[in-house]
Amino acid sequence: MNKYSLISFFFLAIYLYMGVKILLNEYKNKVNMVFSLVCLSMVIWSLFLGLTYLQETPDTAHFFLRLGYISKYFFFPLNLHFFFILTKTRSKLWLLILSYVPAVILNIANAAGQSVFSRVDLIDDRVVGTFDPAWVSLYVFSILLCFSISFYIVHKWGKLTNVNKEKIHSKIILVILTFSYAAALIPSIVLPLFGYMELQSIGVSFFYLYVIGLFFLVSKFRFMGINYLLTADEIISNINDIVILLDLDLKVIDANAKFEQVLSIAPEKIKGRLFCDIIIPNEDIKNKCEYLINDKISATNLRINYKKEDEYIITRTTLLRIKDKFGDLVGFLVISSEVKEIKQFQKYFKITNRELEIIELIIYGLTYRDISDKLSIAETTVEKHLYNIYNKLGINNKIELIRITGDFNIKPALSN
């Protein structure tokens, strides 16, 4: 078999692996979908390029080469499309649409029997094409257009972002982008225009390396969500409490087996739901979540009640910020430990949730005024609640309150 065919089929297998791997890890991610299409275009190109080198006549070689160029024409606008989605560029979408126009025109011409090569010759093991000036000019214009816009939006993305890893991504992508395009175009298009054909066959190899470089970024820095859920499993699998992983919008990414065991809800059913939808929210939870998001605190402790059919599960919970190795906030970790004694205490003494809040704040040491400020109620209301609490518990003072609540493992209201 021709060595160039072997190389083409080898890269075909690599592209197929990369495209499928990315898609299977998070197939709903738009960036992953477009990256998989980029890989697919190179799979098709590699297939027909490999078949081209196996042909024995120039005409059949030219035919298979034209078939391969159907996908190669779309490789460059697809690549630009990938960068538009990756960088979340919503302006200048007309440039993205414009980038597809040359590819469509070239493929229409291809279907009519016209291509960038006016003829193809077989020289030793190589396939050498003679360019058609008109079509190759449009082809080069398409490549340079996509390259220029890609370079611009990635560079702008790196300059404007406040996320450290995105700054690193942009720099690496720009280096890979510039090197690969230059290294591919010079031997495959520029030098042949001056009659130097010996390196024409290796130019495309640099586009192979370019996409492999992008895949390296995907795997190394996970900027497309690859292995995201695997990472979640690594974090939460060995913790014996309820553990939930949240994204930056406080939506559930994953939960561990303990969550299902305690709440009787499969983790798959809550993925994508807001955290507030599965708990009984209150102002304290909302405030502390805002503090976490705004980087005012790195962790906080509080009591969270989870919804469970017609009842609720009382837990002592720690909320933690999760940062990656670049120091960027990527999500939140919720670790909740069920406290059954509190529920037993409430049921036995008929203590309401508001009264329980006041009990926790009283034994924490807050004054009536502190409690009224924290709960946004009048001091007289606090006194009335405490009077009712003492009556229900059959006690007369704070010391007895601390003793009884201690028997039920009720601790002072948790603070940051």
The domain that contains 39 carries what CATH number?
A: 1.20.1070
The CATH number assigned to the domain holding 354 equals 1.10.10.10
Is the same domain home to 134 and 269? no
Facing residues of 305 across strands? Answer: 314
Is the same domain home to 45 and 111? yes
CB-based burial, 113-138: b 16+ in 10 Å, e otherwise = eebbbeebebeeebbbbebbeebbeb
Q: What is the pLDDT of residue 136?
A: 85
Is the same domain home to 122 and 183? yes
Is the same domain home to 252 and 374? no
In three-state secondary structure terms, 171 is helix
- The residue among 309, 338, 367 that closes a domain is 338
Q: What is the pLDDT of residue 315?
A: 87
Is the same domain home to 108 and 186? yes
Q: What is the pLDDT of residue 77?
A: 93
Residues of the domain holding 299: 227-338
Q: What tokens appear for 409 in the block? A: 């493992």
E strand or H helix that includes residue 320: strand 311-323
Task: List C-alpha distances in Å: 392 to 56, 88, 110, 366, 371.
Answer: 97, 58, 87, 21, 20
Is the same domain home to 142 and 103? yes
Is the same domain home to 232 and 185? no
Is the same domain home to 89 and 158? yes
Pairing between strand 252-255 and 242-246?
antiparallel
Q: What is the pLDDT of residue 101?
A: 94
What is the mean pLDDT, run by run of 10 residues, along the chain of 416 residues? 82 87 76 86 89 87 89 90 87 85 92 84 76 87 91 92 82 86 76 63 66 70 47 63 88 87 86 89 78 82 83 86 77 87 85 86 88 88 92 90 85 54
Taking only the tens place, the pLDDT of each residue in 121-156 is: 887 777 777 878 888 889 889 989 999 999 999 999
Is the same domain home to 196 and 68? yes
Instruction: Give the total number of structural domains in the chain.
Output: 3
Contact partners, residue 287, CB within 8 Å, separation at least 6:
none
Q: Compute the chain's Rg from CA coordinates.
A: 31
The CATH number assigned to the domain holding 289 equals 3.30.450.20
Is the same domain home to 161 and 299? no
Is the same domain home to 289 and 208? no
Which CB contacts under 8 angstroms, 24+ apart, belong to 163-171? 163/326, 163/328, 164/326, 164/327, 164/328, 165/221, 165/223, 165/324, 165/326, 165/328, 166/223, 168/221, 168/326, 169/217, 169/221, 169/223
Q: DSSP assignment, residue 200?
A: G
Taking only the tens place, the pLDDT of each residue in 246-262 is: 888 888 988 888 888 88
In three-state secondary structure terms, 279 is strand
Length of the chain: 416
In angstroms, rounded to a whole number, what is the distance separating the alpha carbons of residues 191 and 193?
Answer: 5
- The residue among 338, 373, 399 that closes a domain is 338
CB 224 within 8 A of CB 35: yes
Is the same domain home to 70 and 184? yes
